Each structure stands twice: as C-alpha cells, then as structure tokens.
Structure 1
Amino acid sequence: MGNAWWNMTLRFLLELAALLGLGIAGWSLSDGWWRWVLALALPLIAAVLWGTFAVLNDPSRSGRAPVPVPGAVRLVLELVILFGGAAGFYVAGYTITGIIVALLIVISYAFSLDRLGWLLRQ
C-alpha cells in the first residue's frame, strides 16, 4: 500500500482535527459542567476507539490490533470519527472549517483507494 507521505501526514492531521472538532462540539452544544465533561469525553472516547479497534497487520498503522475487527468495521469507525469531527466544527458554528475538513477527508480517501480495497477484503 503505497500511500504517499503527504497523504499519511494529511490523515494524521485529520485525525487530530477530528478530536478537536468533537471537543469543540461537546463544548459548544452544552452548558455548565456538562460542557467540560463532553469537551473532554468525546475526543477521549474517539481516541480510545481509534486506537483499540483495528485490522490486524494494517500496514498504515503499527500492524497491531488490540481488538481485531474486520476491515469494513474499521472503515466505518474511521469515517464516523473523521466526519464526526468535521460535523462538530460545523454545528459549533465553524461552518467553513467543517466543510474544509470534510473535503480533505474525501481527498485523503480518494488517494487511498488501495488501502480502501485492502480494508474491504479483510
């Protein structure tokens, strides 16, 4: 799977953006102490899910999978978290940022068709 360095970098930055978007959504969509709980819990839950559920021997990751899952499950998890982060920006009022992040996710996956095919075969 020959993902270019720029796409791997973009993917990493999109993962970070997703966590930020989820945190911003948690902060902006709640009040009082719930604001703190959701702003911290949403990105933490996403990061735990991202790091825990993986496809065994995924060359785009370490190859380790604490909880091995089929490739289609991993793909859905990735898409939910990444687009969830983009939606988080959008609903928190950072409309342009949310749209740009969503477009960058599509671009990243468009240049990762080999990985998508590999995931769907697992």
Structure 2
Amino acid sequence: MSLNPVMLAVRFVLELLAWGSFGVYGWRAFDSPWRYVLVVVLPIAAMALWGVFTVPGDPSRSGESPVAVAGPIRLLVELAVFGGGALALWLAQLPRWSLALAAALVVYHALAYDRISWLLTTGRSGQP
C-alpha cells in the first residue's frame, strides 16, 4: 500500500470535515440547551471511534492499536464516520454540503483502492 502524502492529506481533511459535520448536526438539529453539549460530544464520540478501533501496523497511522480490529472492521468504522458525517449534514438540513461531502468521499475511496484492498485482506494481527 502506497503512502501518497496527497492522499493522506485529503483523508485528513475528510476526517476533519466528518467530525465537524457531527458538531454542525448537534448545533442545528436541537433547539435547546443540549445543543451546547452535543456540538462538543458528537464530534468527540466520532473521534474516539476513529482513533480506538484500528488495524495494528497500519502504515498510515502510528502502527499502534488501542483496540485491534481486522481490516474489514476498520473499513466499516471509516465508512461509518465518513458516511455519518455526510448523513449528519443531510439531517442538519444542509443537503448541498452533504452531497458535496458524499461525492468527495466516493472520489477519495475510488482513488484509495490500494488502501481499501489492504483493509479487506488484513486480519486482526495486521497481517494478511
């Protein structure tokens, strides 16, 4: 799997956008004092999910894994966070932003076919 710095930078920006989308949803979807809590808690929950469940030896990360999971599980976590960000924008009544993020995610994942292939064939130990 190649570690193209441009692809890593794009993935990082997509991560930030997804996390921020959860905050936007928390702010826009609730018209109560809970919005102040949700604008912080929802992105932190997505970040925790993203950072905890990892594949050991993932070359795009530090290689360490708080909770080791197989590659296909990690792919599901990534799709849940990225897709959840797009869904959060949709639910926050920002359909154009939602569709733009979803389109960017489709393009990114099409270009990151080597990472997708690696995740699909990697076990819990980080080995195929």
Into which bin does the TM-score normalised by the smaller protein fall?
Answer: over 0.9
Percent of residue pairs identical = 40
Deviations 1:74-104 (A, max 9, x none): 1111101111111112221221111111111
**What does residue 41 of structure 1 align with?**
41
Deviations 1:41-78 (A, max 9, x none): 11000101111110000111111111101111111111
The amino acid that maps onto 1:49 is L
Provide the aligned length of Structure 1 versus Structure 2.
Answer: 122
The residue correspondences of 1:1-122 to structure 2 (distance < 5 A) are: 1-122=1-122
CA distance in 1: counterparts of 2:119 and 2:42, whole angstroms: 26
**Considering only aligned residues, what root-mean-square deviation do their CA atoms show, in Å?**
1.1
| Structure 1 gap ranges (5+) | none
Q: TM-score, normalised by structure 1?
A: 0.94
Q: TM-score, normalised by structure 2?
A: 0.90
Q: Alignment partner of 1:72: what SS?
A: helix
| Structure 2 gap ranges (5+) | 123-128
Q: Is the 8 A contact 1:22 1:39 kept in 2?
A: yes
